[in-house]
Amino acid sequence: MAYQYYVGCDLGGTNIKAGLVDMSTGKVVATKGAPTRSYEGPEKVITRIGKTIQHLVSENNYSWDIIGGVGVSAPGRLDLEKGETVFMTNLPTHWINIPLAAKLEAILNKPVFLLNDVRAITYGEWAFGAGKGVDCMLCFAIGTGIGGGVVINNQLVLNQGGTAGELGHIVIDVNGPPCGCGNHGCVETFASGPAIAALGLKRVVQGQATAIGEMAGYDLNKITPHLIAKAAEAGDPIAQEIWETVGEYMGVAILNAALVVGPKKVVITGGVAAAGDLLLKPIRRTMKARMTVMPADQIEIVPGELGDEAGIIGMAVWASKCGSLGSS
């Protein structure tokens, strides 16, 4: 049976966000959220996820009979075949070997499928967003960290237990700063939100002539990528230079991944992507200048289109695919 609706749900460190997705259009037709309260432990959080999804369906007068299943995204390492969380860095107790899918299936009486949060964003953008219609793409989600995902031949790449696609940990300087992953010089250490803020903070502390400090009221805690983007848009040369530097770092990482994959599109999403052309233009220039063995002009660098709904849509599409494979 082909179902029209699937639920996509994102388990975050702060919030649980669930959405009902119409698979014929890729539109999120209803949403429901709740605080994660991860300090209460996995059992209570899983119960809260189940109740959030139940309320999503009942409060919007949908019948479970037309809903095919549920997809849940989460940060960290997951065992996709077992439907278990293996290790989640940002949640108390780290959710080691928690059978999340089975526990939710017992609550919802529907099949539940798991996926890493940024792979879910990738899949959503490929299915119904900026990557729709291409058979090969890369996705970089730039925020507090840098996550990624890869689609090749219309298939989400999940090799090595689903860890393939960690594009934020491409090394661009072997002698670079330490990364949270345990390596050194990952692009995440150079171009994530905190790294960009640090570049602005450094310039202000050094007393360089920039509007960044004044715009932050000389409160160093208020120096963010968004503020640095505002300064750059207002013509501040230091802020513009920061975005040029960040774009070059990202361009090198994208080039390295693109040479292996040969994507038709590279989708840039996440909070930092709101900088728009301040980030995208130097990425494109770096690709054009440095990519010599592959036609850089045939690789589109584009912003994501689905915003905060990308992961929810991606999880619904993933649950639909997994459900159809299981029933075939």
Question: How far from the centroid of its chain's Cα atoms is residue 5's Cα?
Answer: 23
Same domain, 157 and 106: no
For the cut 60, the answer to whether the pLDDT of residue 135 exceeds it is: yes
Average pLDDT over residues 107-112: 96
What element of type H or E holds 88?
A: none
- For residues 101 and 151, membership in a common domain is answered with no
Q: Please indicate, yes or no, if residue 23 is contained in any of the structural domains.
A: yes
Whether residue 286 sits in one domain with residue 181:
yes
Residue 300: pLDDT band (50, 70, 90) is very high
325 inside domain:
no
Say if residue 90 is in the same domain as residue 153: no
Look up residue 11 and give its amino acid.
L
Question: Do 112 and 143 reside in the same domain of the chain?
Answer: no
pLDDT level of residue 88 (50, 70, 90 thresholds) = confident
114 and 149 part of one domain: no
> Tens digits of per-residue pLDDT, 136-150?
999 999 999 999 999
Outline where DSSP puts E strands in 119-202. 137-142, 146-152, 155-156
Give the end of a domain, one of 95, 123, 151: 123
Range of the domain at 74: 5-123
pLDDT in tens, 189-247: 999 999 999 999 999 999 999 999 999 999 999 999 999 999 999 999 999 999 999 99
The answer for residues whose C-beta is within 8 angstroms of residue 155's C-beta and 6 or more apart is: none
Claim to verify: residue 280 and residue 173 sit in the same structural domain: yes
In a domain, 318, yes or no: no
* Within-domain flag for 326: no
Domain count, the chain: 2
Instruction: Give domain status of residue 19, yes or no.
Output: yes
Regarding whether 115 and 27 lie in a shared domain, the answer is yes
Are residues 144 and 114 part of one domain? no
One domain for residues 64 and 140: no
pLDDT value at residue 328: 37
Q: How does DSSP assign 188-256, residue by residue?
A: HHHHSHHHHHHHHHHHHHTT-S-HHHHHTTT-GGG--HHHHHHHHHTT-HHHHHHHHHHHHHHHHHHHH
Task: Please tell me the predicted confidence (pLDDT) of residue 89.
Answer: 78
Q: What is the pLDDT of residues 238-278, one digit of tens each?
A: 999 999 999 999 999 999 999 999 999 999 999 999 999 99
Same domain, 80 and 156: no
| Whole-number percent of the chain with pLDDT over 70 | 99
Is residue 275 one of the residues assigned to a domain? Answer: yes
Within this chain, do residues 17 and 109 fall inside the same structural domain, yes or no? yes
